[in-house]
Amino acid sequence: MDRKDILKTVDHTLLTQTATWEEIRGILDDGIKYQTASACIPAAYVKQAAEYVEGRLPICTVIGFPNGYSTTAVKVFETKDAIANGAEEIDMVVNIGWVKDGKYQEIEDEIRQIHEACGGKILKVIIETCLLTEEEKIRMCETVTCAGAEFIKTSTGFSTAGATFADVELMRKHVGKEVKVKAAGGIASLEDAEKFMALGVDRLGTSRIIKIIKQTDDGAGY
């Protein structure tokens, strides 16, 4: 597979607690250079990042991250604030406790409200697959589909595990045809990326792919 085809699915990501503007600027520069799908960064840097890229790269940020148990009102405010600051894409975390409680209608309602707050921008819903049973994963695929979000996403990358091939296969089987799948967390090689894409993944949340390409040939041809 052409590496450019992989790169255009990548949300080039830096969400560590210690991320500085200098580090985020490096992510943005790489995202522009390698023509990634977006740069996914902390909300506090969205305005500065959007001004810096001047439309050359979509800015993505995270909402209710990483634990998902903020109130719906807080998540909606975070979303509106991020969009106002220039975010083009929103990755939200669902309330995992609500999943365990079986409150799927409440989860659907929350996703709908956040999707409305996106004002036409892309919404990706993180379900944190490593914390869910297979039945819960299937129910969340159905819930995200009913709520109208553009993407379902495996993981925050801040829990006990990241994306797995088995989870992606399950999600692709149970989400609606119009819902895209994002794999995130632990994508460590070009081979992993290719396999996830072959299984039907539309986006990859990772910082490692660009690091690998830089190491292999200094990005020649990009």
Q: List the catalytic residue out of 11, 30, 91, 192.
A: 91
Asked if 182 is an active-site residue, the reply is yes
Q: Of 75, 167, 182, 192, which is the active-site residue?
A: 182
Q: CA Rg, the chain, in Å? A: 16
What residues does 122 pair with on adjacent strands?
89
Catalytic residue among 124, 153, 167, 180: 153
91 is annotated as an active-site residue: yes
Coil, strand or helix at 87 = coil
Amino acid in position 151: F
How do strand 151-153 and strand 180-184 relate by DSSP bridges? Answer: parallel
CB neighbour class for 2 (10 Å; exposed up to 12, middle 13-18, buried from 19): exposed
Contact between residue 212 and residue 192 where contact means Cβ atoms under 8 Å apart:
no
Look up tokens 């539309």; give the residue: 202
Active site residues: 91, 153, 182
